[in-house]
Amino acid sequence: MKHLFVLFIALSTSPLVFGSAPDKTDVLNGVELLSSKESSTRSYVGHIEKSLPYGFHTVMKGITNFADKCNNEFKKKRVFTSEEDCKYLNENLIETIVIKDIKRPENLKSFKDSYLIGRRVYNRGEFGYYELVTVRESLNEKNQKVTHIDLTMLNDDEVKNYTDLKIKKDSAFDSSISSYKVTEVSPTETLVRYEYSATTKHWLLNKEITVPQVFSSISKGINLLFESIEGESSFLKREVASQN
């Protein structure tokens, strides 16, 4: 299952649209999962919604601390970051670089924030890719603050529109989008909806017989992701309390 990890390293705003009805669905550990195949391309979608007992800004920090999530067993493989331990586990992630100083074409100027993250991952070999992170804010029908954080996988030519290419794309997935919808319910409650979608023509990952194993990996990855968000939110909440 080489490359399988890429599915859950970074999971999105709108799932990729299926060209046909899902041929596989499941719910694993609270994660709803869908898969569909059209021609030689298989699509995967996973999503979950959780109410967290933490303030909005605390949860936002727990989501966007991308560089704090990796596998410390791979610290010797890092190229762009230090060998200090990451706070939270992502089983296949060697390191993440956050690139704030990017060129911003016209299509990015409407967002509150935009930047790149570069991922280096390991699973029986080293691979990598970049994602464009965009952040936009709005109010919902209840006048609650809502922030959308979207991560979109880029190809090498797209990366060059924003920054110098240091990590070449090497992934079993042709495209992926990860999205967070973060809603401030109250000063002590934040609702997070997380969606992930990806497409692949990989000779193994696009077969129906492989779908249950991919679903299992997506579910595990999403739950690890929320453990890190809740862990960081809890840490920050205690830190603020200790200063009062």
Predicted confidence band of residue 4 (pLDDT cuts 50, 70, 90): very low
Domain limits of the chain?
Answer: 6-243
pTM above 0.75, yes or no: yes
DSSP 51-76: EESS-HHHHHHHHH-GGGEE-GGGGG
- Phi/psi for 182 (5° steps) reads -110, 115
pLDDT of 7-50, one tens digit each?
444 333 344 445 568 899 999 999 999 999 999 999 999 999 99
- Residue 20 has a pLDDT of 65
pLDDT tens by residue, 52-108: 999 999 999 999 999 999 999 999 999 999 999 999 999 889 999 999 999 998 889
Question: pLDDT value at position 19?
Answer: 55
Tell me, rounded to whole angstroms, the distance of Cα 222 from its chain centroid: 9
What's the confidence (pLDDT) of residue 243? Answer: 76
Is residue 82 helix, strand or coil?
coil
Write the pLDDT tens digit of every residue in 229-244.
999 999 998 887 777 6
- CA-based nearest residue to 45, from 73, 76, 77, 11: 11
pLDDT at 6 (0 to 100): 43
Q: What does the angle CA 128 – CA 129 – CA 134 come to, to the nearest 5 degrees?
A: 145
Q: How many residues does the chain have?
A: 244
Structural element, H or E, at residue 113? strand 113-122
- Specify the pLDDT at position 244: 66
CB 89 within 8 A of CB 225: no
Q: For 94-116, what is each residue's pLDDT tens digit?
A: 999 999 999 998 889 899 999 99
Assigned CATH class of 6-243: alpha beta
> Rounded CA gap, 109 and 106, in Å?
5
Strands (E), 24-167: 24-28, 31-38, 41-52, 69-70, 88-89, 93-99, 113-122, 126-139, 145-154
- Determine the pLDDT at residue 67: 95
Give dist(CA 206, CA 100) in Å, integer.
Answer: 35
